[in-house]
């Protein structure tokens, strides 16, 4: 394969990128300076060294500490845990500046009727995190409002039931303001803010 096709194939693997967009990325890179390309290549090759995964919330961050700055922040409310599918969703919620509890990044959503759902998300890490936190009172699901998001929420709720029920931990999900099909990553701050304020609660 020639280098243009090879790079195109690599970009095609990016989320939401089709073959034509992937090819445009390659030609864009070709039009840039050597400095730009070298800096980009260096940042990519240094990713593994400079970016870590927080063992508590599973988000990616850079820094010398073990836990990320959100998990280390003692001013944050330990009684609320908000569950998102991916890092970009966490960022969208953080941008609302209204949520002050803790987070957990599931690492994806479970495709409907998937045969190995526990392989698709970080359910074991989530269970351990909840077991360790005696102060937890509410789990907020901030997953996309589509069939995969629904399916994932049901799977997680069922997996947690034996821990949350005896402890009376409330399960809630983002409410009014988010319409069917909404994706957390692309929801604007005002919409997310009202969806957080109007979350629907249930005790399982």
**Residues found near Zn ion in the complex (CB under 5 A):** 54, 56-57, 68, 71
Cα–Cα distance for residue pair 137/156, rounded to 1 Å? 16
- Nearer to Zn ion among residue 56 and residue 152 (C-beta): 56
Distance in Å from the first CA to the final CA of the chain: 55
Which residues have a Cβ under 8 Å from the Cβ of 72 and sit 6 or more positions away? Answer: 65
5 versus 77: smaller Cβ distance to Zn ion: 77
In this complex, which beta carbon is closest to Zn ion, that of residue 56 or of residue 80? 56
Shortest spacing between CB 93 and Zn ion, in angstroms: 14
In whole angstroms, the minimum distance from the beta carbon of 124 to Zn ion comes to 17
The least CB distance from residue 187 to Zn ion, in Å, is 22
Is the distance from CB of 102 to CB of 82 less than 8 angstroms?
Answer: yes
H or E element in which residue 80 lies: strand 77-84
* Choice between 57 and 130, CB closer to Zn ion: 57
What are the DSSP calls for 16-47, one per residue?
T--HHHHHHHHHHHHHS-HHHHHHHHHHHHHH
The span from the CA of 188 to the CA of 139, in Å, is 22
- Min dist CB 169 to Zn ion, Å, is 20
Supply the minimum distance, in Å, between the C-beta of residue 133 and Zn ion.
13
The residue (of 94 and 150) whose beta carbon lies closer to Zn ion is 94
Closest approach, Cβ 198 to Zn ion, in A, equals 26
Asked whether the beta carbons of 198 and 177 are under 8 A apart, the reply is yes
Output 102 or 153, the one with its CB closest to Zn ion. 102
- Would you say 110 and 149 are in contact if contact means Cβ atoms under 8 Å apart? no
Give Rg (Cα) of the chain.
19
Assess contact for 78 and 102: CB atoms under 8 A: yes
């Amino acid at each position: 394969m020639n280098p243009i096709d090879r790079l195109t194939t690599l970009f095609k693997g990016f989320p939401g990128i089709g073959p034509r967009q992937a090819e445009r990325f390659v030609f864009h890179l070709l039009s840039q300076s050597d400095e730009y390309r070298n800096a980009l290549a260096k940042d990519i090759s240094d990713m593994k060294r400079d970016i870590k995964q927080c063992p508590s919330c599973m988000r990616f961050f850079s820094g010398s500490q073990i836990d990320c700055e959100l998990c280390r922040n003692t001013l944050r409310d330990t009684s609320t845990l908000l569950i998102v599918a991916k890092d970009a969703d966490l960022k969208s919620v953080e941008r609302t500046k209204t949520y002050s509890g803790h987070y957990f990044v599931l690492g994806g959503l479970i495709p409907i009727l998937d045969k190995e759902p526990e392989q698709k998300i970080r359910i074991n890490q989530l269970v351990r995190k909840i077991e360790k936190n005696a102060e937890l009172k509410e789990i907020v699901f901030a997953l996309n409002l589509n069939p995969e998001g629904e399916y994932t929420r049901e799977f997680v709720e069922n997996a947690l039931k034996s821990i949350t029920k005896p402890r009376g931990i409330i399960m809630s999900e983002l409410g009014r303001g988010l319409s069917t099909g909404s994706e957390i990553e692309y929801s604007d701050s005002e919409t997310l803010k009202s969806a957080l304020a109007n979350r629907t609660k249930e005790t399982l």
